[in-house]
Chain A
Amino acid sequence: MKILIIEDDDRTAAQVARALTEAGHVVDRAGDGRDGLFLATGGGHDVIVLDRMLPGLDGLAVLGALRGAGQSVPVLILSALAHVDERVRGLKAGGDDYLSKPFAAVELVARVEALGRRPAQAQARDRLVIADLDIDLRTRRVTRAGRAIDLRPQEYRLLEFLMRHDGQVVTRAMLYEGVWDFHFEPQTNVVEVHVSRLRQKIDRGFGRPLIRTHRGGGYSIGLTDDGPDDGVSDDGNPDGGDAAAGGDRD
């Protein structure tokens, strides 16, 4: 994908650019709001990573101008302002996602890729299917290889979120926000325990595992051989019996 980074801090910009380049994307950079707006309105970018506090033109002003010009390119806002109020402001101003500093590079890449794929997910579906795993969104019925799987509500929501991001890495922070609406990182391993439980139910006894753990605290769902190869490796723990002990960050 072609990604525009609007960020005044050179080191942050370099880090972001490097992470995205390593993930196989093409990166442009603007050092302030005016250049950023100029490059952004030129179009041709799949995703824009926008810093909020910029010299020249504030990030939200850039966003407003961009949306005013009818550009619907997905924008990920990057900011040191982390509180829910600030996120809400950013999203209301037309942002599509909000990532607060400090952030993990893997998280940034995962979110940018999720934004880049958004048009594909926009279509309303009432079934999600990956290999032989099948969920009916209306009845909330989950089957694998034709066998019904009984999930708790929290497990169902987790599975649905993973399947909606089919083939992408989703980070723990994305799961906290998307599945549980947590805007904080709990001290305990909520994600690991739930993923591990989900794994037991949908992967155990079904041959090839579908849920993969990625280094740095991300997960993806999909068959191993047609899943994305974005440089992160499988943790070699397909059973996932105890994700907390699987070397993940705690």
Chain B
Amino acid sequence: MTVTDAAQGGGLFRRLRRTSAARIVALYLAVFVASTAIVLGSVTWAALALIDRQIDQTLDAEVRGLAEQYRLEGLGRLIEVVRARSGIRSSGIRSPAGPGDRGGGPGPGDSGIGLGGIYLLAAPDGVPIEGTLSGWPRAAERAADGTLDAELADGRRARIRVYRLAGGFRLLVGRDLAERARFRDLVVEASFWSLGLVLVLGLYGGWILARRSLARVDAMALAARRIVGGDLDERLPRAGSGDEYDRLAQAVNAMLDEIGRLMTASRVASDAMAHDLRGPLARARVTVEAVALRQPDPSEARAGLDEALAEIDRVIATFEALTAIGRAESGAGRTAWSDVDLSALVTELGEIYDLLFEDAGRVLAVHIAPGIARPGDRALMQRAVANLLENTLKHGAGPVVLSLARDAHDDAIVIRVADRGPGVPAAERARVVERFARLDPARSLPGSGLGLALVDAVTRLHGGRLVLMDADAGTAGTAGGAGPGLAVELRLPADGGAPRPAESELTAAGGQADEGLAPAEGVAPSGGVAPSGGVGAGSGVRPGPSA
């Protein structure tokens, strides 16, 4: 455990890197950093541009002011002014020039940043006359007029404005750029700090977030590994907060419950299948062996082989039924669906089985509402209803009622087979539809125990449900019966995707009222022959166009 922990701890960063949370955090971090950098950068750029513009404006104003002084009062006055201004050293003291003095007036450039005024007045031959510089900066030597950045002789960087006065004198006004550089450095430094903070906070938050989700996912993966390892009762942990992980765990747990249920059912079924198949195969083997080894007289051998054949046929029938159930349950073959005329189908089955019930000394009464059809797999539907009849033939007793009707309440199509036999106890009803389930624990009665399982699978394939109940529930009397009887209802949704017929209510009412309807002889009810009973209104009317 400790080894695992250590390994997990050591690989945490590597694993974090692979989580989706880490990827999302990284993406957001990149977006944040980029946008912060853009904002800070543009603010800095705008501020520096403003400063540059202000410096330029100041220099321009000053040059024009000085040029005005020169024009109006001559060189002497200019020298005087330049000397006076040169006396100002980066001290923040304003120029002593009066308020009317435009050149030296309080311009925007003087507001703390453009301090350190640089002045130079030179003769036409370039010889300095007055100012703070001892000579022309190299960059400005040839410039006659204009604004430029230049490096001064003492190494300072400055923004200078050069102007040629009338008479060839040259005037230079400049501002030291050190302040501007300091400001820029300050802003850039602040930007880097902010970016760093964003980065650190983002990484830390992301780390926390990713580690939290990683822990939840790890816990789930661990639980899943335990389940795979054979601990089938293990379930994914839930924090109880109802968040997305909880909901995921809940869904997966529900799935595991269902899988567990199915696995148990299939284990029970395969045990039962092994039992049920081994029986006839063993009997067939013994019989064939006896014939092969003892070489009895021909008639005895013949009987033995017939017996073995019958056993093998039982095995084949069991496999065949299992295959049919499997197909119905998987929903395969829906392409084979067509509009099934249930009225005709059930009527015909009634006719076919009537003789068998008669043979067994029982009575089969058939009540079919006419014109009931819905999409489905005809062969499977036929088989399901036949299975219900065979079931009551084998295990039921007394008179049997086979009916097809629409339920007035929910408009479901109901195929019902009811007998007066011993019935099925309420507690057993869910079990008898399972594969190989039989009420007879010794499995001594004939039958594969697959009949109702197939009916159930077919019913569910068609979106319906199978309902088992006591036959005398809700009906008066138990004439001719030995027990509560069993009624099996195969309830199918009426539409099944087909257009709902306009006269369905009529048909439903007719279906409820058709007591005493005898099985039609060779004529499907939908063929237009009105059966006896109160169904005249609904009979003979097909429910919509058949596909």
Interface residues of A (CB under 8 A from B): 82-85, 88, 102, 152-154, 156, 180-190, 193-194, 197, 215-216, 247, 249-250
Contact = CB atoms under 8 A, between A and B. Distances in A.
B309 A249 contact: yes
B313 A249 contact: yes
Contacts of A84: 333, 336, 377, 379
Contact of A188 (B310, B390, B521): B390
A186 B320 contact: no
What 7 A-B pairs are tightest by C-beta distance, nearest first?
A: A153-B522, A84-B379, A249-B310, A85-B336, A85-B333, A183-B379, A187-B390
Main SS class of interface, A: loop
B327 A83 contact: yes
Interface string B306-323: 100110010011001001
B447 interface: yes
A153 B351 contact: yes
A82 B356 contact: no
8 contacts: A82-B320, A83-B323, A152-B355, A185-B320, A187-B390, A187-B451, A188-B394, A250-B313
Contacts, number: 74
Contacts of A180: 348, 352
B356 A190 contact: yes
A154 B355 contact: yes
Interface in B296-346: 303, 306, 309-310, 313, 316-317, 320, 323-324, 327, 333, 335-336
Most buried by B among A85, A188, A189, A193: A188
Contacts of A154: 351-352, 355
Interface of B: 303, 306, 309-310, 313, 316-317, 320, 323-324, 327, 333, 335-336, 348, 351-353, 355-356, 359, 377, 379, 382-383, 386-387, 390, 393-394, 446-448, 451, 521-522
A156 B355 CA distance: 13
B383 A184 contact: yes
A182 B386 contact: yes
B323 A82 contact: yes
Contacts of B394: 187-188
Given A187-B447, A187-B451, A188-B390, A193 B356 contact: yes
Contact of A184 (B309, B324, B351, B522): B324
A197 B330 CA distance: 40
A147 B229 CA distance: 78
B323 A152 contact: no
Contacts of B324: 184
A247 B379 contact: no
A192 to B, nearest CB: 9
A88 B333 CA distance: 12
A188 B333 CA distance: 27
A189 B353 CA distance: 10
Contacts of B309: 216, 249
